Structure 1
Amino acid sequence: MGRGLRSVRTARGWSQERLIYEMERYARQHLADIASTASLKTYVSEWENGKRPISERYASILRPLLGVTDAELRGEAEKLAPPQADGYDDLLSRIDSARSIGDSMVQTFLDQTELLRTMDRQMGAAGLVDQMTGHLASMEDALTFAVLPGTRRPIATALAGAATLAAWQALDAGSVERAWRHYELAKRAAQDADAPLYLAHAMGEQAYVLRDAGRPEMAVELIRDAQRTHAERHSPRLTAWLSAAEAELCAAADMRDDARRALERAEASLPDGTEARDADMVSIFLNHGHLARWRGNVLAMLGDSTAMEELYAALDTVDPSFVRARSGLHSDLTQAHLARGEMEEARSHIQQARLLANRTGSVRYRRRVELLTGRL
């Protein structure tokens, strides 16, 4: 039982003392009643050593604080429902309920995903785990009992978008296996919905898991496979997004010429104008301002001196609500200044990157900050 808590705590780089401090701060912010510091020290030690179960009272604090599911917190496998001998009436009832799901219910699913996307962008993913878990479970349940294609497709499309968002949130929170499973769910849902845009997007984001795991060449193979998957049905904005992602992944794999060619394709594919979202697919944000930031990131990875101009221009125009993106920009600028030996500027930007990563609770960005800090 304790392995779960210990694992997610150490993934964040927190000591037991830091965990207790954060629990107390969370409790103050949410007017929750918890034990004294001395008692919490005993509880945490006993939780991690398997001597005391984590009560729901404390689990409800630890889940959003650490950005994990209940099963991850407790180190348990997800529990399956017990078998039922005479469940036909219940089965038919659920099938009938799923059949009655109309456009308004699907729109409710989409609206909830959009709300969670906005909250994630502004506050980070850690505190949204319970909401996202329940949201996915509702859609999976609806899809499981939706029999006819006309009912299944819109639910599956909504699930594909939500599962991809949930996967990115899990990756940001350091829950790599959960992220991978959510991407697999998103891909299955997209295939069920015959929604190639959502399938390609899920594959493209999943490639980042491979990159972060130290398999950049495999990540490049996956992003290229995503580009080939029903390419004739991709929108121009998605095509540009996939090309920009390929550029970043090629840069990580030290495929320098490939990275530059992919950037050129992204620029050529992206529609003109300031609109960032696609009418056919709302899961991506990409306009020329976003692409400039992405290009600066890639050029910084390649050690190109022109990255600086791109990154500072992007920093001036980035939407303030994109907190995680700003953390990434400051990290990119740190890398660019380091390449030029400008240590004072690099230290200034890494400090900003750290503050923003801590604000969103991003394990992924904190890891990058620590790697860059080690070079200062």
Structure 2
Amino acid sequence: MYVSEWENNKRPISDHYAAILRRLLGVTDSELRDARPATAVPVADGYDELLSRIDSASSVSTSMVKALNDQTELLRTMDRQMGAASLIDQMTGHLAALEEALNFAVLPSARRPVALALAGASTLAAWQAIDSGAVERAWRHYELAKRAARDAEAPMYLAHAMGEQAYVLCEAGRPTLAVELVRDAQRTLGQSGSPRLRAWLYAAEAELCAHAGMPDDCRRALDAAMGAVPLGPEDRDPDMASIFLNSAHLTRWRGNVLALLGDEEAVTNSYDALEVMDPTFVRARAGLHADLAHAHLTRAEYDDARTHLREARLLAGRTGSVRQRRRIDQLSSRL
């Protein structure tokens, strides 16, 4: 009854129900209520308020920036294990606090560390929005991340935001344009960035080339990724907190890409990755089971495909991933 009245504008959504629906649907308050910001009333003498905000921004210390980055890291960990939908309120408030600090910071010494923190938080928020199916919000967050990265003079963060933004184009049906964007990200990074980020960008290029029907370019990019990734079990990039990549992660990614190409080697790669995968990467594990289902479907091994689709659906349900569920439904339609 309430849903019908909300949809027909016969009853406003109360704050109590709004909080529940935001967590359930993974949307912001304005998206939920379809609110339009009210026109601000001009104030002739607002200098005291402006100076107060500038003073507050200038007092953002190194320890406070660290606390903001720690908050981003906590949200990243929760997202990895629980999914994005339940974090929408926390993420929205976190970005608002960082934007407020940056908007009123004056000197470069105050702006750069806040801008760097905002760039990292915005790419996380954007990926969460993709996972929740909110593609316009994702695009806007990536644009914010790129602006913040330029403000921070941080080409690694700029290249990473561009590389992830390419996925929005791909899923919107523009894979060729997505390939162009990720290659532009590689040029933006140049040779100064970390090897792990270069490997990530090559792997992203390979996946996007597979979607664009460019198998030769795809395989060249996969080889470049395998050649660039550092050896050893360490997966966290010390210079780029949002990058988790080692040879085991790349093996999983390679399996995904080979499955898109219809290559039978995808099964071996994906099973190898499944054996060593960190169980806390719940959403990624759902994706790996979907990769295996895809690979088994290519080989007409339907019972194995069903087994992995069931596991993928269970894990995607735990994280509330709209993106994963859409992929699982597409694969299921082939059975």
Task: Say what the alpha-carbon RMSD is for the aligned residues.
Answer: 1.0
**Residue 232 (structure 2) pairs with residue 273 (structure 1):** yes
**Residue 190 (structure 2) pairs with residue 231 (structure 1):** yes
SS at match of 1:274: coil
**Change over 3 Å in CA distance of 1:255–1:333 after alignment to 2:** same
Equivalent position of 1:146 in the other structure: 105
Equivalent position of 2:297 in the other structure: 338
Which has the higher mean CA deviation after the structures are superposed, 82-91 or 266-275? 82-91
**Change over 3 Å in CA distance of 1:80–1:62 after alignment to 2:** farther
Which residue among 91, 94, 97 is the counterpart of 2:50?
A: 91
Alpha-carbon separation, structure 2, partners of 1:273 and 1:358: 33
Deviation at 1:272, TM superposition (A): 1.1
Deviation at 1:85, TM superposition (A): 2.2
Could you report, residue by residue, the CA deviation over 1:200-228 in whole angstroms, capped at 9, with x for unpaired residues? 00000000001111111011010000000
Which residue among 131, 135, 151 is the counterpart of 1:172?
A: 131
Structure 1 length normalisation: TM-score?
0.88
Q: Structure 1 stretches (4+) deviating beyond 4 angstroms?
A: 78-82
Deviation at 1:340, TM superposition (A): 0.5
Structure 2 gap segments, 5+ residues each: none
**Residue 315 (structure 2) pairs with residue 356 (structure 1):** yes
Q: How many percent of aligned residue pairs carry the same amino acid? A: 69
Equivalent position of 1:160 in the other structure: 119
Which residue among 10, 18, 22 is the counterpart of 1:63?
A: 22
Deviation at 1:80, TM superposition (A): 6.2
Alpha-carbon separation, structure 1, partners of 2:308 and 2:171: 22
**Change over 3 Å in CA distance of 1:290–1:300 after alignment to 2:** same
Which residue among 125, 144, 156 is the counterpart of 1:197?
A: 156
Alpha-carbon separation, structure 1, partners of 2:39 and 2:303: 55
1:1-376 to 2 correspondence within 5 Å?
A: 42-79=1-38, 82-376=41-335
SS at match of 1:273: coil
Could you report, residue by residue, the CA deviation over 1:84-120 in whole angstroms, capped at 9, with x for unpaired residues? 2211011111111111111101001100000000000
Alpha-carbon separation, structure 1, partners of 2:273 and 2:81: 18
Alpha-carbon separation, structure 2, partners of 1:289 and 1:367: 26
**Change over 3 Å in CA distance of 1:81–1:152 after alignment to 2:** farther
Structure 2 length normalisation: TM-score?
0.98
SS at match of 2:231: coil
Alpha-carbon separation, structure 2, partners of 1:297 and 1:207: 17
Alpha-carbon separation, structure 1, partners of 2:107 and 2:41: 27
Equivalent position of 1:16 in the other structure: none
Which has the higher mean CA deviation after the structures are superposed, 284-293 or 79-88? 79-88
Which amino acid in the other structure matches residue 268 of structure 2? E
Could you report, residue by residue, the CA deviation over 1:150-173 in whole angstroms, capped at 9, with x for unpaired residues? 000000000000000000001100
**Change over 3 Å in CA distance of 1:237–1:212 after alignment to 2:** same
Which has the higher mean CA deviation after the structures are superposed, 184-193 or 69-78? 69-78
**Change over 3 Å in CA distance of 1:230–1:349 after alignment to 2:** closer
Deviation at 1:273, TM superposition (A): 1.1
Deviation at 1:78, TM superposition (A): 4.5
Alpha-carbon separation, structure 1, partners of 2:41 and 2:70: 33
SS at match of 1:304: coil
Alpha-carbon separation, structure 2, partners of 1:74 and 1:248: 36
Deviation at 1:233, TM superposition (A): 2.1
Alpha-carbon separation, structure 1, partners of 2:176 and 2:83: 29
Deviation at 1:270, TM superposition (A): 0.9
Alpha-carbon separation, structure 1, partners of 2:156 and 2:171: 24
Q: How many residues align?
A: 335
Alpha-carbon separation, structure 1, partners of 2:240 and 2:104: 25
Alpha-carbon separation, structure 2, partners of 1:204 and 1:274: 24
Alpha-carbon separation, structure 1, partners of 2:39 and 2:112: 26
Alpha-carbon separation, structure 2, partners of 1:167 and 1:281: 16
Alpha-carbon separation, structure 1, partners of 2:98 and 2:176: 34
Could you report, residue by residue, the CA deviation over 1:264-298 in whole angstroms, capped at 9, with x for unpaired residues? 10011111111111111111100111000000100
